[in-house]
Chains A and B, each alone.
Chain A
Amino acid sequence: MIEDEIYRSSSQFRLWSFTEASLKQLRATTNSVASDRVRAALRRAQDARRSATSSTTGTPAPGSDAENKAAEDKQIECLTPEEEQQVVDYYSEQIIQLGENYKPPLPTIVRATAIQYLRRFYLTNSPMTYHPKQIMPCALFLATKTDNYYLSLRQFAEGVPGQTSADDIIAPEFLVMQSLRFTFDVRHPFRGLEGGIMELRAISQGQGQPAPHFQPSQTPEDLRRALLSLSPSSATASTMNDRISRAHHSTREILKAAAQITDAYFLYTPAQIWLSAFLLADRPLAEFYLDTKLGGPIISSSNHDQNPLYALRTKLLTTLANCSALLQAYKPFASDEARMKTLKRIVGKKLYHCQNPEKANIAGQKRIPAAAAAAAAAAAGESGTSESEMERLAKKRKLERGSETTKDLFGGELVTQRTKERQMEGDQQQ
């Protein structure tokens, strides 16, 4: 089918489609790499602290190091891949909320793109390395740019609650883009839903065109009659037009939430996603629509050996059923107290302790590594970073140091002794 070939050329299919197994494996890998490094980083931080104290006091404490290390390793309890998933899901939902803060609210598609950016980002990064609350606004801002919904960074920052500055929002942008492998196009199921609904409406008015392979045998009138003879989905449905509108609306709601906050985009194609959601919204209607494309069970079972559509139909129905199940299982955090409780435990306590201290300051870390700044001072030029920008960043870091102590519910700034660590970080990078 030519439409499928077109989809195969998309970056979403080429780079961001996974089997359940490969998705799981990838997340496990990301988690284990991040856990190792969090432990190592925390250990280094502690060593540094210790040596700092010992150098100031002048009394080394030999022998106690090993014991301390062992004790601390026990203390550092990292997130599991499942817990990481919970965190990412939670912040995916937060993006929907954040979009409401603007007037007018950000378009659904911008928010959906941002959510997918966030989910793609956390396939190769762990929340322990980069806290989602730092990444989330950046992903949303990037989505406004890539989806042609222009807002200046300043305008955007006004909608972000808390003390997040414009610089904080934009700091991880490059990191996010790199994790997205510089693919910005996300193929959503929303527009496809509109197409399907339009076609159903056309059918209901006797204007439906049969699919090319049913062209001579079906007439618009056949299609209309078949549609009108469907068993009613509920007693309240008065007209076919209302029924389609209702199905349209509920499908859209599923696509706005369940499809975003599950792995649907990784496992299924947009066409499969909207049809799965449609099946949940009004099964007879959705099945009728599929039959107009792939032939009903009677047509196909009569001579399914010759009919390639039969094989496609069988496979597709299984896939759609799986996708429907995935979408149906979704429950928002707000309506799931137990889940919310677990999440608070994960984010509030556990993530607080296993946050990688060396990655907390994204802005300072990426833009100007300490050593690079030093080198640039000696031999200006080359790096391409202008003097003024360095000054700007230096100032910014000073400001950050001032606000280090503030903490909020989900983590806050963890890192103490930042100066020391930044020095170390610089040493490692160059």
Chain B
Amino acid sequence: MAVSPLVPHASSVAASSSNAGNKFENDSGTNSPNKTKRSSSPQRMKNPDREITEQLNDDVRHKYIKDKKLGEGTYAVVFLGHLRTDPSSFVAIKKIKVNAEYKDGLSMDAIREVKYLQELSHPNIIALHDVFSSKDQNLNLVLEYLPRGDLEMLIRDSNIHYGAADVKAWMGMLARGVWFCHENYILHRDIKPNNLLVAADGEVKLADFGLARSFADPYLNMTHQVITRWYRPPELLFGARQYSGAVDVWSMGMVFAELLLRVPFVAGNSDLDQISKICEAFGTPTEENWPGVTRLPNYIPADPNHIVPLQGRDFFLRQFPTAGPVGADLLMSMCTLDPRKRGTACQILQHGWWLAEPKPTKKQDLPRKVGGTKKMGDDLTRRGGELDDTSFKNAARQLDFGAARD
């Protein structure tokens, strides 16, 4: 699988460069808009006037054919594409728009997404097959094609019925993906239902690495302005600059709760509101239950007249009866206020819930929804951390891309 592509290509370039005299002839061939002119002979008619790197890029670009547009956002356009050699092998091509306002080169979202996806290869993480540039220096990410929408769609669709076994299957796939990221010392920092895309076979894949970063180094400040508000853990709301994989685990817990309730569990309309809703739901953070919390940069002292005690197992079981006692216990460990007491992704996967009844549904038997293609288009064009909760916005998109549904 691993191939260092530079050497063999370079030699083919060298070979073609010797016939520099044919330059103009080749030029006209390259510029011809007539696609049928593409020679079927294995002999490469390279333009010697292109740099080696450009040729390497062209080789990648020519592996794929862009079909229709699946969606467009401010940040990117997503196309359905396929391999030139195999029209049945679909890919999603995410073309990142040049941001005219950002003068510092390629945006951080794009850099992060490309950097981390290039290193991660796991069944529960969206695969980045290739990256190439198209004309006008547009960056194109060739991503795994995930036609069955996202978890948000399934949660919101009241026509879809699912049960504890399905939730377990989805959470299992999510937890594996997150664990693998953390094993590679990468934080995702934007876990939420609409970043969890569903593949044709039902596999859930973690997507959108625009806010990801590597972690674990001491004394390095990280930004607390990450993770979409409803899924953001209390330590980030309190402005912590040194944090850990626990931030993603909290988001996982929120997704878990949302899957069970079919509405977002703690949905604040501002960061402050989010904190108070968290306190309301899980208990007020204090020095006793979370040592050091008062020293966090943006800590807001709790109203002494309104201290909610830390919620115990009973609360979780009462709130989430479908999870069962073991599931409620797992949810509680994900939603622990103090990040050091929260379970790690590995501990989450070691929990007894996965082996308890009911067994997780097999991925091919999970409830599904048609028309997820458009949704993938929308999901991939969103900018990291954006909240996508206004339904009329979706309706507008639907009008735009209704024709693109397959």
Contact = CB atoms under 8 A, between A and B. Distances in A.
Nearest to A389: B100
A184 B111 contact: yes
B58 to A, nearest CB: 11
Contacts, number: 135
B7 A22 contact: yes
Contacts of A125: 51-53
A106 to B, nearest CB: 14
Interface in A36-86: 36-37, 40
B51 A129 contact: yes
Size bin of chain A's contact surface? 35 or more
A212 B11 CA distance: 45
B4 A8 contact: no
Nearest to A382: B136
B20 A36 contact: yes
Given A8-B2, A384-B97, A153 B103 contact: yes
Nearest to B47: A428
Interface stretch (B114-122, B238-246, B346-354): B114-122
A146 interface: yes
A40 B213 CA distance: 45
A175 B106 CA distance: 12
Interface in B51-97: 51-54, 56-57, 97
A384 B136 CA distance: 8
Contact of B17 (A17, A22, A37, A166): A37
B138 interface: yes
B20 A14 contact: no
Size bin of chain B's contact surface? 35 or more
Contacts of B184: 6
Given A148-B214, A372-B136, A173 B119 contact: no
A42 B92 CA distance: 43
- Among A8, A40, A384, find the residue whose CB has the most chain B CB atoms closer than 10 A: A384
Contact of B104 (A29, A170, A185): A170
A175 to B, nearest CB: 7
A127 to B, nearest CB: 13
A15 B4 contact: yes
B20 A184 contact: no
A246 B176 CA distance: 42
Given A22-B7, A384-B97, A385-B136, A146 B2 contact: no
A250 interface: no
A164 to B, nearest CB: 15
20 contacts: A14-B1, A14-B2, A25-B7, A29-B11, A29-B52, A32-B17, A33-B14, A123-B6, A153-B104, A170-B105, A177-B106, A182-B132, A184-B118, A185-B116, A185-B118, A372-B135, A384-B138, A386-B100, A428-B27, A430-B31
Given A178-B57, A182-B139, A388-B100, 8 more contacts: A15-B4, A29-B10, A37-B17, A148-B222, A182-B132, A184-B111, A191-B217, A367-B136
